[in-house]
């Protein structure tokens, strides 16, 4: 059984005004799309995507609450607990991939973007953010293939939302598959688009988690568990879902709108 | 072919394995899935009068000995929970509703509401070892166990199964108290009070500091508890604590349990654990010359 490891942070990188990467060495594996449960001592334990899979692992997370805010004040040498990796991985299904990322969702996809490119696939990334400064992992995605940018405020790339950009890209070029991670409404639009075009699509979902190991039911999505059956679900699975794009569970287990 | 059906206070089960409360039972979708995977029944998350978020993370620690948790009774509240029960029932699941409250009135009110959802029985969580004021103290007080059971019995017309704490001097006395209160069966045991510390950080591993231990480490404790209880009461007992195989289940059955609950073993064996335990029990019972589960209940009492 994988257990909690306490590791010192080696390096902390501010990727955008709201998003940080934390690097550490850990005795754990990891495939593209998997996540760790990360213990920020005295604050919380949260699921975080592995954004670097090499000997020096990395997690990249947006500062959105008390615990991530506390983590943002950590410095090299401060220690966190990690357990995992948990969940499934993005699967390469053909010679060309369209990756559609929104905001900090790029953190869950960047390892897959790089791995797929390394396996010889053509990887085109459509990345979106509110504003230019919030664009995440543009250089890494560009180095792995080709990148197209959309910002809500038009400060870089095309003005508008990333699903519209993705629509232009699939009209221009035929892809073997689509992968996506970002705000759930955005992913729902990307999944719809891919299904309309008959493209296989995989989306990485986020839910509140407690155990991370498939027993507590906090991260339920219909009759699936995001930590155990996911976090990556196929378009076929999501098309059958009553909850994807509509509902999530709050900490008490109540169904609330996404 | 061994007949694996069993029955507890009129609740018929296709096999003697039940999903233990607290595992994959906050949502109807997951309960349906566990039932479809082979459980004879599912016990819901403990549900209270109001929504409750539970404790901050970390809430779960994996140990060699088993699983330490202080999840803190998160639940959407009994009103919203109707949807989850109905969804599990729509998949054919036999559902037992687990309830808690801060006093006997709350237990009775939640149980009464839960009983209107069509659950087959009520399990009283009298023994959560780490949620202050919610069951912890009740489980330490024989009179409270008797009175709470009676108050719930007075307002529902389905079987009531108090779940007892092992964190007492003599659990059998509490089972007797529950029987005096009108309990239709006993569930034993809940988790053992426990703690883990992370030396590298010089702090408790759980946000709540203390928690409850489940899994293989507590099986011998649970078997002893069931054996002791069965010496003293005349109502059926459901054995819980570290059941992960057909052999484990048979220990409980031979100690006197009519059925077993399974939780932590889902971690090591997956959702197939219910079906696997059932099959393992069937072959062990057959080897031992039993034709049915009821024939084996309590045979270890000489």
Contact state of A213 with B62 under an 8 Å Cβ cutoff: yes
Where in the sequence numbering do the catalytic residues of B fall?
128
Min distance B274 CA to chain A CA atoms (Å): 14
Residue with tokens 């699975």: A237
Q: How far apart are the first and last CA of chain B?
A: 27
The proportion of chain B whose per-residue pLDDT surpasses 70, expressed as a percent, equals 97
* Per-residue model confidence (pLDDT) at position B136: 60
Q: What is the mean pLDDT of residues A57-82?
A: 96
Split at pLDDT 50, 70, 90, the class of B111 is very high
To 5 degrees, how large is the angle CA A144–CA A84–CA A188?
55
Q: What is the mean pLDDT of residues B205-232?
A: 97
Q: Which residues of A touch B (CB under 8 A)?
A: 1-4, 6, 37, 39, 41-46, 79, 81, 83, 210-218, 220, 222-225, 249-255
Provide CB contacts within 8 A for A196, sequence distance 6+.
none
B153 touches chain A (CB under 8 A): no
DSSP helix/strand/coil, B148: helix
Please report the ipTM that was assigned to this predicted complex: 0.93
Contact state of B27 with A81 under an 8 Å Cβ cutoff: no
SS3 string, chain A, reads CCCCEEEECCEEEEEECCEEEEEEECCCCCCCCCEEEEEECCCEEEEEEEEECCCEEEEEEECCCHHHHHHHCCCCCCEEEEEEEECCCCCCCCCEEEEEEEHHHHHHHHHHHHHHHHCCCEEEEEEEECCHHHCCCHHHHHHCCEEEEEECCCCCCEECCHHHHHHHHHHHCCCCEEEEECCHHHHHHHHHHHHHCCCCEEEECCCCCCCCCCCCCCCEECCEECCCCCCEEEHHHHHCCCCCCCEEECCCCCEEEC
Burial bucket for residue B148 (CB in 10 Å: 0-12, 13-18, 19+): buried
**Is residue A57 scored above 60 in pLDDT?**
yes
For A3, half-sphere exposure in the C-beta direction (CA atoms, 13 angstrom radius) is 13
Q: What is the spatial distance between Cα A111 and Cα A99, in angstroms, rounded to a whole number?
A: 11
| Tens digit of each residue's pLDDT (9 = 90 or more) over A130-172 | 999 999 999 999 999 999 999 999 999 999 999 999 999 999 9
Contact state of A224 with B27 under an 8 Å Cβ cutoff: no
DSSP helix/strand/coil, B28: helix
Looking at every residue in chain A, the average pLDDT score rounds to 96
Chain A contacts in chain B segment 67-96 (CB below 8 A): 67, 71, 74-77, 80, 83
Q: Which residues does chain A have within 8 Å of residue B264's beta carbon, measured at their own beta carbons?
A: 215
Orientation of helix B78-90 relative to helix B28-36, angle to 10°: 30
| Tens digit of each residue's pLDDT (9 = 90 or more) over B245-281 | 999 999 999 999 999 999 999 999 999 999 999 999 9
**Is residue A75 scored above 70 in pLDDT?**
yes
The proportion of chain A whose per-residue pLDDT surpasses 70, expressed as a percent, equals 99
| Tens digit of each residue's pLDDT (9 = 90 or more) over B19-74 | 999 999 999 999 999 999 999 999 999 999 999 999 999 999 999 889 999 999 99
Q: Which residues does chain A have within 8 Å of residue B37's beta carbon, measured at their own beta carbons?
A: none
B288 touches chain A (CB under 8 A): no
Split at pLDDT 50, 70, 90, the class of A27 is confident
């Amino acid at each position: 059984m994988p257990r909690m490891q306490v590791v010192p942070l080696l390096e902390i990188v501010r990727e955008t005004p709201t998003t940080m990467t934390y690097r550490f060495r850990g005795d754990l594996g990891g495939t593209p799309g998997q996540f760790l449960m990360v213990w920020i001592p005295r604050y919380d334990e949260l699921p975080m995507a592995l954004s670097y899979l090499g000997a020096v692992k990395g997690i990249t997370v947006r500062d959105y609450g008390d615990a991530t805010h506390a983590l943002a004040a950590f410095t090299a040498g401060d220690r966190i607990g990690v357990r995992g990796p948990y969940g499934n991985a993005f699967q390469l299904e053909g010679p060309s991939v369209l990756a559609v990322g929104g905001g900090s969702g790029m953190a869950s996809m960047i390892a897959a973007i790089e791995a797929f490119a390394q396996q010889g696939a053509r990887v085109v990334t459509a990345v979106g953010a509110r504003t230019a400064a919030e664009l995440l992992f543009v250089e890494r995605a560009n180095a792995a293939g080709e990148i197209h940018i959309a910002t809500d405020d038009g400060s870089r790339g095309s003005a508008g939302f990333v699903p519209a950009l993705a629509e232009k890209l699939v009209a221009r070029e035929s892809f073997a598959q689509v992968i996506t991670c970002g705000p759930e409404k955005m992913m729902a639009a990307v999944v719809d688009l891919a299904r309309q075009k008959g493209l296989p699509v995989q989306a990485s979902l986020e839910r509140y988690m407690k155990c991370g190991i498939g027993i507590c039911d906090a991260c339920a999505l219909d009759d699936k568990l995001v930590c155990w059956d996911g976090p990556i679900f196929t378009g076929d699975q999501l098309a059958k879902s009553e909850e994807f794009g509509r509902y999530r569970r709050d900490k008490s287990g109540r169904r609330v709108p996404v | 072919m061994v007949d694996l059906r069993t029955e507890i206070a009129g609740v018929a089960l296709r096999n003697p394995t039940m999903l233990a409360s607290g595992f994959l039972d906050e949502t109807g979708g997951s309960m349906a899935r566990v039932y479809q995977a082979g459980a004879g029944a599912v016990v819901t998350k403990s549900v209270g009068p109001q929504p409750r978020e539970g404790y901050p993370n970390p809430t779960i620690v994996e140990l060699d000995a088993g699983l330490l948790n202080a999840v803190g009774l998160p639940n959407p509240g009994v009103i919203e929970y109707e949807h989850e029960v109905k969804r599990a029932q729509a998949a054919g699941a036999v559902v037992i509703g687990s309830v808690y409250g801060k006093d006997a009135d709350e237990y009775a009110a939640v149980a009464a509401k839960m009983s209107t959802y069509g659950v087959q029985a009520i399990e009283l969580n009298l023994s959560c070892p780490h949620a202050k004021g919610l069951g912890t103290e009740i489980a330490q007080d024989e009179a409270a166990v008797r009175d709470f059971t009676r108050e719930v019995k007075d307002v529902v017309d389905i079987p009531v199964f108090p779940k007892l704490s092992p964190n007492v001097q003599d659990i059998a006395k509490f089972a007797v108290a529950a029987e005096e209160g009108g309990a239709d069966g006993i569930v034993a045991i809940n988790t053992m009070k426990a703690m883990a510390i992370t030396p590298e950080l010089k702090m408790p591993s759980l946000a709540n500091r203390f928690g409850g231990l489940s899994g293989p480490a507590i099986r011998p404790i649970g078997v002893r508890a069931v054996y002791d209880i069965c010496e003293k009461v005349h109502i059926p007992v459901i054995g819980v604590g570290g059941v992960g195989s057909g052999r484990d289940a048979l220990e409980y059955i031979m100690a006197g349990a009519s059925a077993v609950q399974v939780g932590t073993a889902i971690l090591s064996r997956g959702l197939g654990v219910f079906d696997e335990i059932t099959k393992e029990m069937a072959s062990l019972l057959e080897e031992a010359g039993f034709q049915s589960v009821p024939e084996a209940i309590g045979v270890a009492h000489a």
